[in-house]
Structure 1
Amino acid sequence: MDTPGHTNFQDEVVASMAMSDGVVLFVDVVVGLTQHVERMLKHAIQDKLSVVLVVNSMDRLVVELKLPPADAYHKLRFCIEDINETMEKLYDSCATEVESRTYFSPLKGNVLFCSSLFRMMFTLESYAAVYAEMHENSFDPKVLAKCLWGDLYFNADTGGFQKTPPDADQPRSFVQFVLEPIYKVFAHCIGEEKEDLASTLAEVGIYLHKKDYELDAKGLCRKVFAQYFGVGGGLPSFIDMVVKHIANPKENAAAKVEALYAGDQDGAVAADMKSLDHTGYLMLHTVKQFHRPDCRSFDVFGRVMSGTIFRGDRVKILGENYSLDDDEDMAIREVQNLWIYEGRYRVEVSHVPAGNWVLIGGIEGSIKKTSTITTASNDEEVEIFRPLRFCTTPVIKVAIEPLQPAELPKMVDGLRKIDRAYPLAKTKVEESGEHVIMGTGEIFLDCILHDLRRLYGDLEIKVADPVVEFCETVVETSSLKCFAETPNKKNKIYMVAEPLEKGLGEDIEKGKVKIEWENRRMSDYMTKNYDWDLLAARSIWAFGPEVNGPNVLVDDCLPSEVNKSLLAQTKDSLVQGFQWATKEGPLCDERIRSVKFKILNATLAEDAVMRGGGQIIPTARRVAYSAFLLATPRLMEPVMFSDIECPADCVAAIYNVLSRRRGHVVRDLPKPGSPMYSVHAYLPAMESFGFETDLRTHTSGQAMCQSMFDHWQHVPGDPLDRSILLRPLEPAPAPHLAREFMLKMR
């Protein structure tokens, strides 16, 4: 399954990893590992997927950089070693056991050298097999393959390999036997006349059709390499590498189930999935929907984890919000079609057994993002596969409306289809009635708007200027103990707000801390990592606004002052009020982030009717707002990480462009073995619109940039400072930005 390489489409990569048993990592030998690929690699390691490496664009070393073969070897070796160093860091950050770690080496057979442009690919073993075939299999190609990498040299006198060069100018074995023949093919195809080339190629057993000699240099090289490396330019070597180094569905089934399935790992359903039993309970995990050619309906793409799905089956579809306690997000449908999906083609089939990908027709009506599918007659306790964990956040948003107001229903229907087609896209209706689309970047939103106009809506739309999602936070503890009284005057709640410890919000979001943990485990984690006192750590009631939200509600009441049994009975209502408050903050209805709310005291009515949800929930929200506003509130904005590649003479221009947009460079380094510089910079997302175009303009199109969401930071200035005077059509100075953003967002 091919996935996009652009940073804006990380959601597609994450969705495909959930379906897969392994990853083929393509790296351009000149560019090396980018930050985007590094992030995706970390996700693959967390999902415990096998990884193999393809070093691509070898032709650039010859044609573009014009490196001599010996230097090309060093560049290839550096590229692989650099990737291994990065893998080491990622394994350490994921706490992967040493036995489970994989490193790349051509000698292990998990590295493939390739040029997609010229359609050639080979591993050391497949290249050695070419030599063995030329010499009528007079030696074992596996033995030769072990001698084709590293500091080994061929001694023509003894006919063997040795660790020291026999002559001063003797090249390494990889250079002599692998790179030099490839260089010679390029030289002959580009430089020789037709008649001379035919005789040269005939010497190595390559015979081309007369028409092939009339092709341009690129086409001619492709034809030569196709014969030199065999079928498809060496395609069998790629297949052999994948088969040997990536676990098959049966071997990987247990690890896949542990990573994805939220239910009982020892139950009958999990046992069938772990053994990949095609006769067991049907369990199917879907992650994506593809539209049909008419763009009116969708088909659901997923993987059969156990059992066999047949056309005509009645299936139970469990959505992301389904649980054993709440089965509202469930529907029963009949499977109308089954296909094996092959890019632009679909092969219709009658049934699909466990361990395969499948495209299902006729059930999309009740699926939004991901889902779990089982047979309608399954009486076992089935829980869902976990929703996808994305390593980025959609922080860029645009408001849209149809050009013709009468086409509003058409646009709303198109937005529902967008929600299905893009795993990470979010669409919502603001209180003002605006329809808002949220995405990861400009290209992501461009694709969505194109699909809405041409595929799903077939209408013209007006698009507002893009803005970003903000967060609200505090920098001090509330200056007063705040209280709010319920409308019936029978209950009072006292609360203060203070900043959360640095890093705790991120840990909660990443799932390193979970609210389901028992008290002892939670208190151990909080006291050890964040210096919480034992009592506070054991009194954590909730995270908000979701179960993995970056805000904490703590019960800080003393039993001598508060009736704890009454407080425990109203806990659910207080938590709902807290989560409502953190979902829509008081400054500009944006989410609250990194704030700890402490309940200090509560006066509650003895009569349960007087302290029902209708009384407590809005009151808890009001008191949370009061505590928040008295704790020096601030706005937070998303910051993008930009990975820029450019020639050395363009670095100064990049500094200028970034400084005008409140950005700053973290580091700039030359790329070893290439004339390019790599510049890493942070740029506020609010200033990132048009950044790539601006960058290309100032560098004459020589700079390439990839930006992705990285972290949140405070917007300079106080949003509640009424003394700030904002003038229309004038850019606000830095200390006034928070006030300007807040007023414009409201």
Structure 2
Amino acid sequence: MGRKEDNIKRATEVMHVREKIRNLAIAAHIDHGKTTLSDNLIAGAGMMSEDLAGKSRVLDFDQQESARGITINAASASMVHDIDGDDYLINLIDTPGHVDFGGDVTRAMRAVDGCIILACAVEGTMPQTETVVRQALKEKVRPVLFINKVDRLINELQIDGPEMMQRFEKIIVKVNKLIATFAPAELAKEWQVSVQKGTVAFGSAYYNWGMSIPYMTKSGLNFKDIFEHCHNDEQKELAKKAPVHQVLLDMAVEQLPSPLVSQKYRIPNIWQGDLESEVGQSMLETNPDGPLQLMITKIWMDPHAGEVAVGRVYSGSIKHGESVWAIGAAKAERVQQVSMMVGGDRIQVPEVSAGNIAALTGVKSAAAGVTITRDPEATPFEAIRHYSEPVVTVAVEPKSMKDLPKFIDALRGLAKADASLQVTTNQETGEALLAGMGELHLEITIFRMQEEQNIKVKVSEPIVVYRESIESNNSGRPFEGKSPNRHNRFYIECEPLPQDVINALREGHFGDGPVRTKDAKEVGNKFAEFGMDKDLMRKIYAINATNVFVNDTKGIQNLHETRELMIEGFNDVCKKGPTAEEPLMGVLVRLVDAKLHEDAIHRGPAQTIPAVRNAVKGAVLRARSVIFEPMQNIRIDAPNDVIGGVTRELTTRRGIIEDMPVDGGTASVIGKMPVAESFGFSNDIRAASQGRAVWNTENAGFVQLPAALFHKVTAEIRQRKGLKEEIPGEDNYQD
């Protein structure tokens, strides 16, 4: 039996010993060395050749990933690690560092209990480092720290021991600040990382060596030895004495929790069901014999088996051949195969039990974020919230109309596989609108469709996704919306929601969709915690993204019968606002009065929905509608002698410079830039810096468009959508 086959056998045995399982992610900024490190960990565990580690990119099994040299999907691999004769099962997930693929990081964090945060010793913590730490802590995933590329500090920058310690300390302090800010209050102190506690390691993933205080004690090596090995070009020898997989997997086993420990504090955070119920207790105990609760975190396409759903089993066991429900699906489906993942290899097993990562085929209704159970009425897991919203759209259509059915199927598959991609289709024209996190996100999505599905497509220029909102209110001046038959009237007032409430809505604090009457009191109390009127918010009807609809009327007969229809009218405006048919954001919509026909036949959908839709649109215009545009945080590092060209390039694109720290011969420009101005930035910044600038971006939410640009941008959006350029006034929605 080969070493790889032996490891697979051991992995399937250890899978059932829950205290010996570690589910962990590696997360960092782009190009800080995640995939190289993953390869070395897998090689060290005997799953691939050590000579290929760092070059073969096992977890980058997607054609585009290997070609671009960045990780796009969050791939996973199971491996066995031996400590003092005891086998431990490590389920490892590598995540993308590129800002456009942050959705995969968010989903990966739901599947794991611990996280190795990778920071570059040369660059330190960067914007995306902060984002991944925040995502990990929001999911109650415990972090440890690995400072990578230490060989470059010693050999390229020629720094001495004391200066190296200062650099390490700076990175550790920054990571601990993030933990103190974003970790749950009860865990923030315990989760601080430190060299002394053994929760910080350092080394070189590329040269395959690592070090930590516990490993120094174990091996007898010290800092002087490390400097000497690096200076004397003896890093291969250092890798034999202190292999990075040994150091980091030891740290993972000793410092990160098993599912038995983590699920006790993670389940209340990700599942809103009754913790005292059988399934609640089973998840808290990671019981392999309890009711099945599995959450899908990723869908990927296998060229032979089709759709493969990867997810975390929190309770029970998933077995080959059994029937399961994807919550929300119309019927149960049969699991054709159950597997464990080793990079691109799926190793079939009879079952995967609680605490592990499973790969399934046959469950067609599965999608990222869906709960799999044996009971269709089971309480699903909390929806996975993404830190960034889609900000760029492209229109896509097949070049040949005979490909239209295949094209529509491909779009459905893409939407299932990537929850951070928004897909809308015009069934008549076949044109689809894909909204994603950035240019690269959409480029990769379209490449996959063309290569994997063999469909040739036409793609429009990228279009920026804007938001509509209001800057005032129409309190005391409700807008009247009349039904086409003139027998029903609805009176609506609008006001802007406070920013902290918008943020909480975005994070899913209050839920989304219609609010059941029995839940309205509890939801209203949550809004009251943010300083909103408790009595008003207890009359809530619905939430749509960051907008809220409340019924502020008293004693109107038959109003409850039109509730669902009114919510539908409200939802229509949330999708397409009155100014430019862009999504609505941050608006509290209040129904303050209504006059209804006593006969139900005269207040059906064809009467109520357009009346409410017009009332909400008119109220938004009366409350002074505005356009919000998406922004990006940007950081550019360049030599001092070219920094002038860099700042000019940023300011000509309406960029705002917030800080310009200087470190030796390198200056950094830190600021913000509108997404609308970012197209073609890569080429222009290279030219402005003579190819010497390094930059990265991160989505930074939406800000109000400058008043001077309001009419120009709105006219462009309306023209693009085939609407009249002129912005509608209130009279467009009266009668």
Query: Do both proteins adopt the same fold according to a TM-score greater than 0.5, normalized to the shorter chain?
Result: yes
Partner of 2:410: 414
Partner of 2:676: 686
Match of 1:82 among 152, 161, 174: 174
Partner of 1:144: none
CA contact (8 A) 2:579 2:714 kept: no
Task: Kindly provide the CA deviation profile for residues 490-510 of structure 1, in whole angstroms up to 9, marking residues without a partner as x.
Answer: 222122333333443223222
Task: Kindly provide the CA deviation profile for residues 222-244 of structure 1, in whole angstroms up to 9, marking residues without a partner as x.
Answer: 42212332xxx243222221111
Match of 1:267 among 268, 277, 289: 277
1:393 correspondence with 2:389 = yes
Q: CA deviation at 1:54?
A: 0.5
CA distance in 2, matches of 1:371, 1:610: 40
CA distance in 2, matches of 1:555, 1:338: 48
1:114 correspondence with 2:223 = no
Q: CA deviation at 1:650?
A: 3.3
Instruction: Say if 1:527 and 1:90 are closer, same or farther in 2 by CA, change over 3 A.
Output: closer
The secondary structure found in structure 1 opposite 2:461 is: coil
Task: Kindly provide the CA deviation profile for residues 512-539 of structure 1, in whole angstroms up to 9, marking residues without a partner as x.
Answer: 4456796776666656744x55654444
CA distance in 2, matches of 1:311, 1:599: 52
CA distance in 2, matches of 1:90, 1:312: 42
Match of 2:237 among 214, 224, 229: 224
CA distance in 2, matches of 1:534, 1:446: 46
CA distance in 1, matches of 2:289, 2:538: 46
CA distance in 1, matches of 2:170, 2:189: 24
Partner of 1:297: 306
Instruction: Say if 1:597 and 1:342 are closer, same or farther in 2 by CA, change over 3 A.
Output: same
1:232-311 paired onto structure 2 within 5 Å: 233-294=243-304, 297-311=306-320
CA distance in 2, matches of 1:600, 1:374: 43
CA distance in 1, matches of 2:490, 2:283: 49
1:736 correspondence with 2:726 = no
Partner of 2:480: 483
Task: Kindly provide the CA deviation profile for residues 468-512 of structure 1, in whole angstroms up to 9, marking residues without a partner as x.
Answer: 111112223349542122233322212233333344322322234
CA contact (8 A) 1:716 1:735 kept: no
Partner of 1:584: 576
CA distance in 2, matches of 1:523, 1:298: 41
CA distance in 1, matches of 2:418, 2:582: 23
Q: CA RMSD in A?
A: 2.6
CA contact (8 A) 2:180 2:189 kept: no
Unaligned segments of structure 1, at least 5 residues: 132-176, 190-220, 323-328, 719-732
CA distance in 2, matches of 1:525, 1:285: 27
Partner of 1:197: none
1:307-326 paired onto structure 2 within 5 Å: 307-318=316-327, 322=328
CA contact (8 A) 2:115 2:144 kept: yes
Q: CA deviation at 1:27?
A: 0.6
The secondary structure found in structure 1 opposite 2:192 is: coil
1:347-386 paired onto structure 2 within 5 Å: 347-363=347-363, 365-375=364-374, 378=375, 381-386=377-382
Instruction: Say if 1:129 and 1:98 are closer, same or farther in 2 by CA, change over 3 A.
Output: closer
Instruction: Say if 1:313 and 1:432 are closer, same or farther in 2 by CA, change over 3 A.
Output: closer
Paired residues in the alignment total: 624
Match of 1:710 among 694, 697, 700: 700
Q: CA deviation at 1:686?
A: 1.2
1:183 correspondence with 2:275 = no
CA distance in 2, matches of 1:297, 1:527: 48
Shifted more, 406-415 versus 275-284: the winner is: 406-415
Partner of 2:113: 21
CA distance in 2, matches of 1:630, 1:272: 53
Task: Kindly provide the CA deviation profile for residues 585-621 of structure 1, in whole angstroms up to 9, marking residues without a partner as x.
Answer: 1223221112232323221223333333442222111
CA contact (8 A) 1:24 1:53 kept: yes
CA distance in 2, matches of 1:42, 1:465: 33
Match of 2:468 among 472, 487, 498: 472
CA distance in 1, matches of 2:483, 2:134: 49
Shifted more, 504-513 versus 59-68: the winner is: 504-513
CA contact (8 A) 2:229 2:235 kept: no
Q: CA deviation at 1:623?
A: 1.3
Match of 2:138 among 43, 46, 51: 46
Match of 1:650 among 618, 642, 650: 642
The secondary structure found in structure 1 opposite 2:447 is: helix
Amino acid at match of 1:239: L
CA contact (8 A) 2:626 2:710 kept: no
Q: CA deviation at 1:4?
A: 1.2
1:169-180 paired onto structure 2 within 5 Å: 178-180=222-224
CA distance in 2, matches of 1:7, 1:464: 22
CA distance in 2, matches of 1:637, 1:566: 41
Partner of 1:727: none
1:610-621 paired onto structure 2 within 5 Å: 610-621=602-613
1:327-342 paired onto structure 2 within 5 Å: 329-342=329-342
Task: Kindly provide the CA deviation profile for residues 216-268 of structure 1, in whole angstroms up to 9, marking residues without a partner as x.
Answer: xxxxx342212332xxx243222221111111011112223222224222211
Partner of 1:462: 458
Shifted more, 512-521 versus 17-26: the winner is: 512-521
Instruction: Say if 1:676 and 1:178 are closer, same or farther in 2 by CA, change over 3 A.
Output: farther
Shifted more, 689-698 versus 498-507: the winner is: 498-507
1:72 correspondence with 2:200 = no
Partner of 1:444: 441
Shifted more, 366-375 versus 267-276: the winner is: 366-375
Amino acid at match of 2:412: R
CA distance in 2, matches of 1:573, 1:611: 10
Amino acid at match of 2:239: A
Match of 1:60 among 136, 152, 165: 152
* Structure number, greater radius of gyration: 1
Unaligned segments of structure 2, at least 5 residues: 1-92, 724-735
Instruction: Say if 1:691 and 1:539 are closer, same or farther in 2 by CA, change over 3 A.
Output: same
Q: CA deviation at 1:109?
A: 0.6
Instruction: Say if 1:512 and 1:278 are closer, same or farther in 2 by CA, change over 3 A.
Output: closer
CA contact (8 A) 1:717 1:737 kept: no
1:497 correspondence with 2:494 = yes
The secondary structure found in structure 1 opposite 2:125 is: coil
CA contact (8 A) 2:296 2:366 kept: no
Q: Give me the TM-score of the superposition, normalised by structure 1.
A: 0.78
CA distance in 2, matches of 1:236, 1:528: 48
Shifted more, 2-11 versus 497-506: the winner is: 497-506
Partner of 1:554: 550
Amino acid at match of 2:102: Q
CA contact (8 A) 1:50 1:245 kept: no
CA contact (8 A) 1:717 1:738 kept: no
Percent identity among equivalent residues? 26
CA distance in 2, matches of 1:449, 1:352: 34
Q: CA deviation at 1:649?
A: 3.0
Task: Kindly provide the CA deviation profile for residues 641-697 of structure 1, in whole angstroms up to 9, marking residues without a partner as x.
Answer: 1232333333322211111211111212235xx654332221111111121222122
CA distance in 2, matches of 1:420, 1:29: 37
